[in-house]
Amino acid sequence: MNAEGLSDPALQKLMKKRRGAIIPVGSLEQHGAHLPVSTDSDIVTHIAEKLAEKCGMLVLPTIQYGVSFEHAPLFNASISTSTLQKILVELCLSIGQNGMRKVLILNGHHGNQGSLRGIEGKIDRLSNGRVRAFAVSYWKFMGAEFDHAGFAETSLMLACSKKVRMNLAKKGLDPSKLGPERRAKVSRLAQTHFVKATGGGVWGDPRKATKIQGQKMIAEIVRNMTKTVSKLA
């Protein structure tokens, strides 16, 4: 159930029946020529909604700005690691004051992971134990190797959006062609200069991505995440 658009009385009533809230966190950044800059936000929002249905949780509006400076000089609308963490901490504390004691921060962008480091303990301390926050990145709940605008991410987008333009999809950096040392070096470079590391902004090959594969991935993610969330709740 989405909180956005609900009135206060409806939301107050609904919160009493929910097991917790989900804050999806995405980004606005380049994803090649075939995917929109909202890709991370679109995917994580879709997964959050599916997860909320399974776990009886409330979905809050997605934070669409993330830490994406590494994608310069291509498009990115970014905020700093400390700013994103501050936003998330204050939101969780506010949610707790409104009676929601458990919050799942669902991350959809690799560059946001620094903001999640230590955030659970920080929220616990600042709320005096009244709010329990859990921070996870959705791709850690799927078996397929994740990429950036490659086969996996493009398949996920095909399953949850009509914004994909497959006629513009082009092969990017193929990590399977790199040896261990070279791949580790390129991966480190990608964390600060993604375009330089990939040679064009795409990590992987999106050309064979399909909606069916994306649906299978989403089902797997939600299934695995449901088990974890159930334990946390």
CA distance 132 to 208: 41
Is the separation of the CB atoms in 65 and 79 below 8 Å?
yes
What pLDDT is recorded for position 5?
A: 85
Q: How much is the pLDDT for 233?
A: 56
pLDDT tens per residue across all 233 residues of the chain: 788 888 999 888 887 777 799 999 999 999 999 999 999 999 999 999 999 999 999 999 999 999 999 999 999 999 999 999 999 999 999 999 998 899 999 999 999 999 999 999 999 999 999 999 999 999 999 999 999 999 999 999 999 999 999 999 999 999 888 899 999 999 999 999 999 999 999 999 999 999 999 999 999 999 999 998 887 75
- CA–CA distance from 84 to each of 115, 119, 120, 180 (Å)? 6, 11, 14, 32
**What letter would DSSP give residue 126?**
H
Enumerate the domain spans of the chain.
8-232
Please tell me the number of Cα atoms within 13 Å of 79 on its side-chain side.
17
Assign a CATH topology to domain 8-232.
Answer: Rossmann fold (3.40.50)
Q: How far is CA 53 from CA 18, 58, 137, 172, in A?
A: 11, 9, 18, 35
Please give the Cα distance from 34 to 164 (Å, whole number): 6
Amino acid making up residue 100: M
pLDDT for position 19: 77
